Amino acid sequence: MAAIEVGDTAPLFTAPLQDGGTFDSASLLGSKWLVLFFYPKDDTPVCTKEACAFRDSYEKFAAAGAEVVGVSSDTAASHARFAARHRLPFPIVADTDRRLRRLFGVPNTFGVIPGRVTYVIDRQGLVRLVYSALLASDAHVQRALAAVGA
């Protein structure tokens, strides 16, 4: 699948969450922005910094009408521990089969490391931001805040 780009209609998906529930992206259409951030692995230094930066700005996203959702290929149990340890207020998708990475066209960095890409999708389902940077954890949050108008 080709990479999703700004201006594209985001693919709809359902996926398992860290709490045993299911996230359905269609449930946000017409009501909320979606900030979907793909990251390589729970509890690694840059990933933890990024997740905590989204946590620290979560109220700004909520005030702008945006839902933040993290995605990595770790298990739901790993995500549950990660979310509890760092008091993450947003859902995290367990993309263990990497289906969502393929659906959005998230590349591997150096052909090995799962990419770090943030997508901002508006209320109509159009992609308004695609930001990819492996080591710039804070920049993902700042660009996403700007995209939702926060």
Secondary structure (DSSP) of 75-144: -HHHHHHHHHHHT--S-EEE-TT-HHHHHHTPPEETTTEEP-EEEEE-TTSBEEEEEE-SS-HHHHHHHH
Give me the count of residues in the chain.
Answer: 150
Q: How far apart are CA 95 and CA 117, in angstroms?
A: 14
Name the residues annotated as catalytic.
Answer: 47
Beta bridge partners of 121: 34, 127
